[in-house]
Structure 1
Amino acid sequence: MNAEIVAVGSELLLGQIDNTNATYLSRQLNNLGVNVYHHTVVGDNEERLYKVLETALNRSDLVITTGGLGPTKDDLTKETLAQLLSRNLVYDKITEERIIEYFKQRSRTMTENNRKQALVIEGSKIIDNHHGLACGMLMTYENKKVMMLPGPPKELIPMFENECIPLLNRQLSNSSFIQSRVLRFFDIGESQLVDIIDDLLETQTNPTIAPLASDGEVTLRLTVKGENEGQNEQKLDDLQDKVVERLEPYFYGTGNDTLSKSVSDLLRIMDYSLSSAESLTGGSFSTELTSLDGASNFFKGGFITYTNEQKHELLGISNELLNKYGAISHECAEALAKQVRLQTGSNVGLSFTGVAGPKEAEGKQPGLVYVGLSTEDELVSYELRLAGSRSNIRERSVKYGLYYLLQWLRKEMKKVDE
């Protein structure tokens, strides 16, 4: 079954909201073994919508529309589709009663345009909406399937997961499964990564490998298609082993893993504590860690030492060091990491100091960053030369700090295992 997703709404074309529904639906359909060949976005215009739907029905087995089912005049999806299919719109009594009850419970008057949401295309199967007013619909037209879903993700997602997936499973005539796995890498460019696994890319058939670069990271999506889910998973395992064997220093997780989650998992496993001293990042590192559930189990706290005075007063960094080497230096980064570790009694101290820009500081160019790491047995700092905007330099500094910390934690884990 080949599918097309048609998102309806001028706000999507204007960039006022992102088309997250299409991304979500593509992932879900992929898991069901349905090929998604087209994404289309069309505004609230009856003529253009008609042509888009006509094209979709001519080239796809399954057409899923999102949006345009609301009560206002610019909600045109079901009216336009009914015209295209030469079918009438009729009131669905159950949906209408639910809408009436909704307004009654809230002591509000239901207007005629709200009643419009109970109109459905004749002959369609109603898909209940338990999180909103507009019901979904599924219909057959000349051996094609058309599914209509509401636009708000808070309504679409539960409707699709609870109502639509069972419906689609019954419609599918084959038992093939498409399964994917995402591998995540840091501190390596896409071109370098691709070069290292070039032979795997050249010979790929099933599973396949697709690289994608974003936000200073690189991901690989492994995809396999087959009739046995267990065998599919084994194929993904085997391919992942081959890829990670070559890229192990840069590999940090799978799926929705983040660098901060990978770090926090190892800190918990090893029962290690962490603290931080931040200058140019201004608390971003602490924010990243404390956004995780249970962060208090491993993160003792952080200091924002944005000025030299605060570096001296809060963490005791000597004026002699600051005058001799400057705040933007290996020496300062190491002193900050050591002092924050000692003052908080943590196993690990991490520090960030540098120039985020846009102007230079201490005669040093924006993008020069030092990350310090201190443990009982080790004191080290890393120099970074980052490009981009002020916010981008700060964000990437935090990621590099997490990456260096992850590398150290993995090294410690190997010592324990040995």
Structure 2
Amino acid sequence: MILKNSKIGISSEELSVRSLIYFIMELQNLFKYIGNYLLEVDETIAVAESVTSGFLQFSFSQMKDASKFYKGGITAYTPDEKINLLKVDESEALACDCVSPNIAETMALNVSKIFKSDWSIAVTGYATPVPESKQKLYAYFAIVYKGQVILSEKLDLHSRTKQVNAQLYYTEFILGCFKLELDKHHENRSIS
């Protein structure tokens, strides 16, 4: 399939590559802010993800001096791996296809314990419409600070969003929310 962009024919594959490049370029300021903040306050982060399939981990690895604050992550794509590695409840996992607010929160809490990090982020959801999602695209994510869930949200996307674009959007949105939580944390530290 060729889509017309001006006078140049661009394939959908090229658009996906361009989306990835644009995503990386747009996130540079976000990366810089998050990395600098975590370095400044000497705090660490870990990630558990499924629907974003490593994009969050990739993002943290791109931050300057990442090894000083980014402890690592787990991509658990199947229910078995979420149950075994991240200790989500098996009956709940099977009942909801591992996609619920509680699953995301449990993933975030347990990845923080595994890596002994101050912060953690987890996400689970759908990047393609499937019968289990009722043909919809959505994800649940959670942000944890020092063993407490401080943000747990659902993100909905249009069902015709391409898979890679859905994964990129989820990642960018979650990192943006994390930056906002860091801003709140900074304000609270300033007041104390």
Same-fold call, TM > 0.5?
yes
Q: Deviations over 1:131-152 (max 9, x none)?
A: xxxxxxxxxxxxxxxxxxxxxx
**Which of 384, 393, 411 matches 2:155?**
384
Q: CA separation in 2, counterparts of 1:390 and 1:341?
A: 28
Shift of 1:405: 0.9
Q: Which runs of 5+ in 1 are unaligned?
A: 1-12, 17-214, 220-255
2:50·2:75 contact (CA, 8 Å) conserved in 1?
Answer: yes
Shift of 1:310: 0.6
Report 1:74-113 matches (<5 A). none
Partner residue of 1:259? 30
Q: CA separation in 2, counterparts of 1:284 and 1:385?
A: 18
Shift of 1:385: 0.6
Q: CA separation in 2, counterparts of 1:378 and 1:364?
A: 31
| 1:396 aligned onto 2:169 | yes
Partner residue of 1:369? 139
**Which of 174, 189, 192 matches 1:416?**
189
Partner residue of 2:85? 314
**Which of 124, 135, 144 matches 1:353?**
124
Partner residue of 2:105? 334
SS of the equivalent of 1:402 reads helix
Shift of 1:386: 1.5
| 1:343 aligned onto 2:114 | yes
Partner residue of 2:66? 295
TM-score, normalization: structure 2? 0.80
Q: Which runs of 5+ in 2 are unaligned?
A: 1-6, 11-21
Higher helix share: 2
1:275·1:300 contact (CA, 8 Å) conserved in 2?
Answer: yes
Shift of 1:377: 5.4
Report 1:117-266 matches (<5 A). 257-266=28-37
SS of the equivalent of 1:362 reads helix
Q: CA separation in 2, counterparts of 1:378 and 1:397?
A: 22
| Cα RMSD, aligned residues only | 2.3
Task: Report the residue type matching 1:370 in the other structure.
Answer: Y
Partner residue of 2:180? 407
Relative CO higher for 1 or 2, CA cutoff 8 Å, sep ≥ 6?
Answer: 2
Higher Rg: 1
Shift of 1:351: 0.7
Task: Report the residue type matching 1:271 in the other structure.
Answer: D
| 1:276 aligned onto 2:47 | yes
Q: CA separation in 2, counterparts of 1:265 and 1:345?
A: 20
Aligned pairs, number = 169
Partner residue of 1:198? none
TM-score, normalization: structure 1? 0.38
Identity across aligned pairs (percent)? 24
SS of the equivalent of 2:152 reads strand
SS of the equivalent of 2:58 reads helix
1:355·1:361 contact (CA, 8 Å) conserved in 2?
Answer: no
